[in-house]
Amino acid sequence: MSLTTSSSLAVAAIQLTSTPDVDASLSSALHYLEEAASAGADLAVLPENFGFLGSEKAKLAYAQSIEDGSFVAPLRELAAKKGMGIIAGGMPEKGPDDDRVYNTAVFIGRSGEVAGSYRKIHLFDIDLAGKISYQESASVLPGTEPMVVEFEGWKVGLSICYDLRFPEMYRSLVDQGAHILTVPAAFTLQTGRDHWEVLLRARAIENQCYVIAAGQVGEHLKGRASWGQSCVIDPWGTILQQAPDVEGITLATLDRSELQRIRTQLPCLEHRRL
């Protein structure tokens, strides 16, 4: 199906409270994917760390293939069964050694095929005095290539969480033709309350793209909690739908004519000089 025959796309941002309990985390993800499919979603986006959210060291035990690993295999099966695209927001892809993995988003097409994947480029290494200290690079290798995947005639740019703070990342996706920017995340409470919404809206406005942001929410284990506030934003920066502070799905419909209208009436992307 192309955009010449279908000008809209029903999407779902899935919000989870994943934990170190892999079976429970995957069960919850599959439950809400089923709910999204029943609601008519063409494309559903899972948050970062959907299958396991625990310590960085413990994550290494779940390093796996993005083709047939235990996290992605049931998603591929469900996608084919329901005829729905799924973005598996961030999972531990096996790297070249046993000490670090890639944090990888996997795009699964309607037939269950792996249509593309993206390895997180910007790693979350921060130290906010008295608030939070985190070193993702201790167990994760950075990717190097931005990724855009075509789905139903829409071009979908992939990113993960901390990438959100790097506008050049999203400009590179637009340079590849992106209409939609996806941001699966596990944004911390400390940074999320101040920066999550404003950064998402900025990425939508400056790139004149739809944004689908699927976040983790609530407490995952002692000392680790996520902001949530999953949402879908239009190319004008308007929040179309936003999640409450619980697990669930956030549904919205993307309209190609609205994207074209905004890009035509305010042609910022054509006015670029640098």
Catalytic residue among 48, 93, 136, 247, which?
48
pLDDT for the residue numbered 128:
75
Q: Does residue 98 fall inside a structural domain? A: yes
Compute mean pLDDT per 10 residues along the chain, 274 residues long, and list them: 64 98 98 98 98 93 98 98 98 96 98 98 86 86 98 98 98 98 96 97 98 98 93 98 98 98 97 94
Q: Does residue 1 fall inside a structural domain? A: no
pLDDT for the residue numbered 3:
37
- CA dist 230 and 100 (Å) reads 28
H helix or E strand, kind and range, residue 239: strand 239-242
Which residues, 6 or more positions from 94, have their beta carbon under 8 angstroms from its beta carbon? 63, 64, 65, 69, 101, 102
**CATH of residue 194:** 3.60.110.10
Catalytic residue among 136, 161, 231, 247, which?
161
Q: Does residue 89 fall inside a structural domain? A: yes
Q: Does residue 272 fall inside a structural domain? A: no
Q: Closest Cα partner for 177 from 156, 160, 163? A: 156
Active site (annotated) includes residue 161: yes
Number of domains in the chain: 1
User: 60 lies in which domain range?
Assistant: 9-267
| CA 186 vs CA 93, 210, 212, 230, 258: distances in Å | 17, 20, 14, 10, 29
pLDDT for the residue numbered 6:
62
Q: Does residue 172 fall inside a structural domain? A: yes
Active site (annotated) includes residue 131: no
Catalytic residue among 82, 120, 136, 231, which?
120
